[in-house]
Amino acid sequence: MKKIYLFILIILASMIGSAQELDRPVLRQAVENQLATYPASTLQDIYKAFYQEHFGPEHMITDTAAVRNYLNYELDHCDDQAINLYYEPIGISGDYVRVYLNAVKDGLITPEQLLWAFLDSAKPQQQPSLDWPTKWEEIVKVIDEIKPGFGQEERDLLRQASQQNQAVHHSPAYNNDYHPHYRIVNREIFEQQLKPALAPHENN
């Protein structure tokens, strides 16, 4: 009998954790914000934003030298059409922040500050209560309530990607319209290491 009660408690705890993580009004607001701010977003771009929040930047790290070299390369090749932001939270809870390279180019933070905030953010974090394939299915349901009509081929490809915990790039449409150049930083690390320099210029 004790084993049965224990099993029920585990199931209930799992359900509560899932409900907390996917608060539907909050999720809906996050999707609406993405589509309102970036109307050229495809389903792929929405996937990318929530994927980044779920996994952080760990999948993007190869070695420190390679990461540093690519950051320097991107800084040298950013164009003037890039998104005019210094940072923005992503996903449902905002546990990760996109820090745009504008913050470096405008001299508010150094390349090394952004590099190490990015690398520190790749350290293992507490695992979300929902696995990514399940979470993505729930996100798609909310997307369909707000903006139905995304193509079946794109849906199938992203469902397959989610089942493999696979990252994706921004879509060509998103790249053409917004020219995004950023690094993903954990919110706590961002607030400690970067935000003091950026806050006086917040999203001007």
SS3 93: coil
What is the per-residue pLDDT across 85-111, written as a single tens digit (0 to 9) for each? 999 999 998 899 999 999 999 999 999
* Integer angstrom CA distances of residue 133 from 11, 92, 106, 164: 19, 16, 39, 8
Position 84 scores a pLDDT of: 83
| pLDDT above 70 as % of the chain | 84
Q: Which two tokens stand for residue 84?
A: 């005019």
103: left (phi over 0), alpha (psi -120 to 50) or beta: alpha
* Integer angstrom CA distances of residue 82 from 6, 117, 200: 53, 21, 21
Q: Mean pLDDT over all residues of the chain?
A: 86
Q: Which two tokens stand for residue 119?
A: 């690398």
Position 1 scores a pLDDT of: 45
SS3 98: strand
SS3 6: helix
Q: What are the residues whose beta carbons fall under 8 Å from the beta carbon of 23, sequence distance 6 or more?
A: 92
Q: Please tell me which residue, 65 or 185, carries the higher pLDDT value.
A: 185
* Integer angstrom CA distances of residue 108 from 68, 76, 135: 18, 17, 36
Q: Comparing C-alpha atoms, which of 48, 192, 54, 50 is closest to residue 116?
A: 192
Taking residues 26-41, what's their average pLDDT? 95
Position 60 scores a pLDDT of: 67
Position 203 scores a pLDDT of: 54
What's the pLDDT band for 2 if we cut at 50, 70, 90? Answer: very low
